[in-house]
């Protein structure tokens, strides 16, 4: 009887299996980490996006791009899917810490409150920070 790791390794031996495996991990990672961002934010990003809040859409889009970019670099490192999950987790953790630091390091105003008010300049910066940092994190994974 094959163990779970051996069965997964067999699936990953084929290009379509690799695609399905990495894609599944990416979707699961996005769901989990966007949920973590949703928990700590002072606004509900999907509710705000539904109301047409451009700043919330920019900030959320930046998080999605940043997370996917970290995943891309961890996949490109050509290690196993298990190493990819490990490195992606570390990258996600760093992006999450950067999100918390960004709020902490702007004492003049609350980033989350400004995004809730649809302050698009804050939304743009909130998009560019995770996008930019994802390239730095990714370069460290190569």
Beta carbons within 8 Å of 53's beta carbon, 6+ residues apart: 115, 116, 118
The radius of gyration of the chain from alpha carbons, rounded to an integer in Å, stands at 17
> 57 burial class (0-12, 13-18, 19+ CB within 10 angstroms)?
buried
Backbone angles phi, psi at 42, to 5 degrees: -85, 10
Between 53 and 83, the more confident residue is 53
CA distance 32 to 125: 23
Beta carbons within 8 Å of 107's beta carbon, 6+ residues apart: none
pLDDT tens profile 84-118: 888 889 999 999 999 999 988 888 899 999 999 99
Examine the pLDDT at 10 and tell me if it is beyond 80. no
Examine the pLDDT at 19 and tell me if it is beyond 90. no
The percent of residues in the chain predicted with pLDDT above 90, rounded, is 56
Q: What is the pLDDT of residue 1?
A: 45
In the chain, what are the helix, strand and coil shares in percent, each to the nearest 5? Answer: 80, 0, 20
Examine the pLDDT at 2 and tell me if it is beyond 70. no
The percent of residues in the chain predicted with pLDDT above 70, rounded, is 92
Cα-based distances in Å from 12 to 31, 56, 86, 91: 22, 37, 17, 23
Q: How many CA atoms lie within 13 A of 111 on its CB side?
A: 23
pLDDT tens profile 115-142: 999 999 999 999 999 999 999 999 988 7
Q: How confident is the model at residue 6 (pLDDT cuts 50, 70, 90)?
A: low
Q: What is the pLDDT of residue 96?
A: 92
């Amino acid at each position: 009887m094959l163990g779970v790791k051996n069965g997964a390794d067999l699936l990953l031996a084929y290009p379509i299996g690799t695609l399905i495996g990495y894609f599944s991990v990416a979707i699961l990672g996005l769901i989990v980490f966007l949920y973590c961002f949703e928990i700590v934010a002072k606004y509900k990003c999907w509710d705000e996006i539904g109301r047409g809040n451009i700043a919330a859409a920019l900030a959320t889009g930046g998080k999605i791009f940043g997370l996917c970019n970290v995943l891309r670099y961890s996949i490109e490192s050509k290690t196993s899917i298990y190493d990819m999950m490990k490195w992606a987790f570390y990258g996600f953790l760093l992006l999450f810490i950067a999100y918390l630091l960004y709020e902490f390091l702007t004492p003049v105003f609350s980033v989350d409150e400004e995004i809730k008010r649809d302050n698009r300049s804050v939304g743009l910066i909130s998009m560019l920070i995770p996008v930019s940092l994802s390239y730095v994190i990714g370069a460290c994974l190569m």
